[in-house]
């Protein structure tokens, strides 16, 4: 068969370049746009113009991809300020802001140990800023602040999503869950809870987070400065 009628070799389509960073960035874009459920290896691959199996040269499982995503965000999380109290407060705020930028992070935080380089760098910066608390206190103190932060942002995001799910504005919210709760409270079986919901001042998310964090930091301060 002569050259002319022989088809060209199937063009080897230039083999899109790839790297863990590109993969993770694509996955984060998808998650930011449409939530964690929108992150599938197939979607990530097509976003990169690549076959799904190609990704397995860079990661061994989807879980590893999620780990890489979380670690990538940790690059944005650093404590600032002087003294342990400011360091811990800024750490908690940084985590919360990161979660606001990447809501899916709330689903992953605390779900598995974070041992990636950026997460470790964050821990290092925090520990370095805690020179004024004893070495034996540093770990439990940081653990407590992290635990509070993770739980608080999870609940905050959960509420935000629930509101959005009922139709995006407050009108719909009242039309769906509102009546259910109203009816439940009307039975009179939850008097203390009903009283709080009815009579207590309602705080917004920022205040709620700050107040809880203040509780915790106050408690830490009492034990750290007077051991």
Partner DNA sequence: GTATTGGTCAATACACTGTATCGAACGATG
Partner DNA sequence: CATCGTTCGATACAGTGTATTGACCAATAC
Q: Which is nearer to DNA, 61 or 80 (CB)?
A: 61
Shortest Å, Cβ 26 to a copy of itself: 25
Tokens for 120? 């470790």
Report the residue from 155, 173, 174, 178 that binds a copy of itself according to the rule CB under 8 A.
155
159 binds, among a copy of itself, DNA, none (CB under 5 to 8 A by kind): a copy of itself
180 touches a copy of itself (CB under 8 A): yes
Identify which of 81, 93, 74 has the alpha carbon closest to the alpha carbon of residue 28.
74
151 binds a copy of itself (CB under 8 A): yes
Task: Single out the residue of 29, 78, 177, 178 in contact with a copy of itself (rule: CB under 8 A).
Answer: 177
Looking only at residues 79 through 138 of this chain, which bind a copy of itself when binding is defined by CB under 8 A? Answer: 107, 109-113, 115, 120-121, 123-124, 127-128, 130-131, 135-136, 138
Q: Are 74 and 83 in contact (CB under 8 A)?
A: no
| Residue 80 tokens, joined | 């600032």
Query: Which of these, 115, 173, 122, lies nearest to 149 by C-alpha position?
Result: 122
15 binds, among a copy of itself, DNA, none (CB under 5 to 8 A by kind): DNA
Binding site for a copy of itself (CB under 8 A): 107, 109-113, 115, 120-121, 123-124, 127-128, 130-131, 135-136, 138-141, 143-144, 146-152, 154-155, 158-159, 161-162, 177, 180-181, 184, 189-193, 195-196, 199-203, 207-208, 211-212, 214-220, 222-223
């Amino acid at each position: 068969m002569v050259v002319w009628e022989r088809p060209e070799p199937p063009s080897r389509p230039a083999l899109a370049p790839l790297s863990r960073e590109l993969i993770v960035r694509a996955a984060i874009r998808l998650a930011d746009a449409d939530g964690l459920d929108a992150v599938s290896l197939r979607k990530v691959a097509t976003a990169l113009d690549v076959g799904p199996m190609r990704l397995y040269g860079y990661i061994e499982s989807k879980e590893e991809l999620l780990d890489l995503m979380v670690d990538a965000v940790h690059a944005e999380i650093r404590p600032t300020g002087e003294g342990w109290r400011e360091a811990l407060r800024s750490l908690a705020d940084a985590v919360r802001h990161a979660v606001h930028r990447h809501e899916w992070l709330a689903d992953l935080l605390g779900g598995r140990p974070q041992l990636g380089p950026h997460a470790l760098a964050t821990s290092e910066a925090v520990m370095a800023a805690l020179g004024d608390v004893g070495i034996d206190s540093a770990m439990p103190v940081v653990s407590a602040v992290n635990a509070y932060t993770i739980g608080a942002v999870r609940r905050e995001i959960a509420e935000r999503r629930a509101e959005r799910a009922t139709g995006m504005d407050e009108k719909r919210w009242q039309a769906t869950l509102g009546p259910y709760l109203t009816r439940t409270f009307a039975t009179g079986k939850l008097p203390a809870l009903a009283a709080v919901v009815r009579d207590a001042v309602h705080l917004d998310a920022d205040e709620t987070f700050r107040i809880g964090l203040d509780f915790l930091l106050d408690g830490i301060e009492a034990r750290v400065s007077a051991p």
